[in-house]
Each structure stands twice: as C-alpha cells, then as structure tokens.
C-alpha cells in the first residue's frame, strides 16, 4: 500500500511539473490576437465624393492615405504615412475654377497598454509635413503635430478595428509668397476629430 501511495505521489508530481513546463511554451505568433514585438501592420483610408450644387456647379474630391507600422517591442510601434488629396470644383458650364492638390508625409509612434490582448487602448504622437498647390500653382506648406489616444479591437488574428480621438494638435501653414505664417493650436475632443479605421497585421 505504501508503495502504491508513493508511486501515485510521484506520478502527480511529474504531471504537475509537466503541466507547468507546458504552460511556459509560447503559442505560435499566428495563434494569438493582439500585437507583439516584430509585428507589422498596414492601414489607411481611401475615398471619393462628388457633390452637385443647386446652381449646377460640382465638386469632386479624392483622398488616399496609406500607413505602415512596426513593433520594436511588445508595447511600442513606430511607422510612417503618406497622403494625397485632390479637390476639384467646376462651374455650371464645366469650367474648372478650383483645383487643389495636397501631398503629406509623416511619422508616428504608438504605445499600447495591452498589446497582447485583442482589446487595447493606445496613445499616438505624430508629426507631418504637407504641401498644397492650387489651380494657379500657388503653394502653401505646413507642419502638423498631434497627440491622439485611441482603442484597438481585434476581430481575428490579422484584422482589427480602431478608433482614435484628436485631443491635442498644432498646425502651422506658410504661404510661399508671404513672409508670415498661420498657426493653430487645438485642445479638447471634437466629434469631427474622431476617426475610425481597420488595420491588417502581418
């Protein structure tokens, strides 16, 4: 009987040690939701709108803004973004009276509070440079810096929804033919500054 008890205790001890060792085995990267060191993601936006006014004038607007990010560790991601916006307005006779093209480039850093979970708050600090040219080749250049908290929620292993809230931003625009600049500082939450998007992790 004593031998049976000792053998049972030995088997239990071995089983517990084996289970403990198994719990330390990391899951394959593809089997978890959330972010981890070495993950990359892409996101962005693309859109087109056409507005016809009562006076038969029209406005066509197209925008595209891709974004790429890389996790340097489990919590912190860095990345860059590009942007292009075309805004064309025509009168009732089809003559173009406004044609604005804007190009932007920028970089950002993000800190995720719960990167390994499918739901995680994050904070983003971004800076960007842009230039706008109108129909008369008149150019404006500007610099933007912004701080935005947000939320990320994974729908699966690769796709996640995210929402960000513009809280703090600074913009300065310098017309090429002027010695001055226009500066704008904003703080607070505005419904127009809430952005929704989808990202793909790979």
- Summarised one tens digit per residue, pLDDT across range 50-73 is 888 888 889 999 989 899 999 999
Contact 153, 187 (CB under 8 A): no
φ/ψ region of 3 (left if φ > 0, alpha if ψ in -120 to 50, else beta) reads alpha
In the chain, DSSP finds a helix count (H) and a strand count (E) of 1, 10
pTM, to two decimals: 0.71
Output the CA angle 104-108-110, nearest 5 degrees. Answer: 150
Domains of the chain: 34-201 (2.40.160.20)
pLDDT tens track for 120-154: 999 999 999 999 988 888 888 999 999 999 999 99
Residue carrying the six token digits 């089983």: 15
Maximum CA extent, the chain: 103
Between CA 73 and CA 107 the distance in angstroms is 18
């Amino acid at each position: 009987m004593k031998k049976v008890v000792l053998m049972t205790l030995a088997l239990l001890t071995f089983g517990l040690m084996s289970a403990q060792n198994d719990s330390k085995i990391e899951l394959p990267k593809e089997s978890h939701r959330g972010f981890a060191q070495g993950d990359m993601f892409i996101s962005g936006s693309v859109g087109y709108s056409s507005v016809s006014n009562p006076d038969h004038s029209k406005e066509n607007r197209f925008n595209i803004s891709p974004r790429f990010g890389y996790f340097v560790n489990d919590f912190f991601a860095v990345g860059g973004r590009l942007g292009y916006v075309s805004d064309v307005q025509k009168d009732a006779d089809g003559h173009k009276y406004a044609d604005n093209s804007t190009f932007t480039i920028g970089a950002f850093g993000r800190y995720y509070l719960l990167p390994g979970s499918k739901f995680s708050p994050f904070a983003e600090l971004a800076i960007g440079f842009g230039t706008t040219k109108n129909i008369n080749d008149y150019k404006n250049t500007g610099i933007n810096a912004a701080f935005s908290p947000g939320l990320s929620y994974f729908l699966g292993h690769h796709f996640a929804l995210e929402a960000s809230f513009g809280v703090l931003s600074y913009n300065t625009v310098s017309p090429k033919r002027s010695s001055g600049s226009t500066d704008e500082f904003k703080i607070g939450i505005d419904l127009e500054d809430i952005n929704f998007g989808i990202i793909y992790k790979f």
